[in-house]
Amino acid sequence: MRLQKFLAEAGVASRRAGEQIILAGRVAVNGQTVRELGTKVEAPGDRVTVDGKPVRSRRKLYVALHKPRGCACTRKDELGRPTVGEWLPKEWGNLYPVGRLDFNTEGLIFLTNDGAFSLRLTHPRYGVRKRYEVTVVGRVTAATLAELTRGIFTEGERLKAAKAKLLASGPSESQVELELAEGKNREVRRMFETLGLIVKRLVRTQIGPIKLGQLKPGRWRTLTETEIKSLLAPV
């Protein structure tokens, strides 16, 4: 990989800051000072130092967490609220959430120290789908589902579900399964609010091919190599 990417993944500096460190002649590969951007290194294999101190590539980690309700999707919350990081081992402080779930939304979220993996799952151009189970106050009809998949305009943008399925419907409460191809801010809640329905409970049950399954709130597990590859496979 490129030397500046290696430095970034090792936690030395951002790629841009890493470029400045290289240009300043502070980086050596196998004992030879390197000042050329784009220099390739093998990890493991090549010995990289910054200011004479060895730099080691960090092991990449991929974790699936059942985010509980009442938990912020960040490592540090300015309001002092509980965060997703509090459910993980302390030595995994370099893992960050892939995307977001609202404070009162629960369900599946990934945490990783692999920036490329995070980009692949969050950028709209890749179209990685997410599935949600939504409990709303009031009755949901076939017409409601049609509006959700046709698209709803609110606050100057169009919100649209790729799929909508009615799981249960009653006069006081209904359950709907939604599948989304994008991850706009508060997308699910905003769609139902625009239709006059209040979301009582919102759970993300699936990201790409990976399901929440029997993972309990606050519990986590590492993703298998097969699962990681399935998430990175072309849609």
Here the contacts of 218-227 (C-beta below 8 Å, separation 24 or greater) are: 218/66, 218/68, 218/87, 219/65, 219/66, 219/87, 220/63, 220/64, 220/65, 220/66, 220/87, 220/88, 220/111, 221/63, 221/64, 222/61, 222/62, 222/63, 222/64, 223/62, 223/63, 223/64, 223/110, 227/62
102 belongs to the catalytic site: yes
**Residue 114, phi then psi, degrees to nearest 5:** -105, 105
Distance CA 39, CA 35 (A): 9
Q: Per the residue annotation, which of 46, 51, 102, 114 is the catalytic one?
A: 102
**180, 186 Cβ separation under 8 angstroms:** no
The answer to whether the Cα torsion of 88, 90, 92, 98 is positive or negative is positive
- Strands 130-137, 198-207: pairing kind: antiparallel
Q: Which residues are catalytic?
A: 102
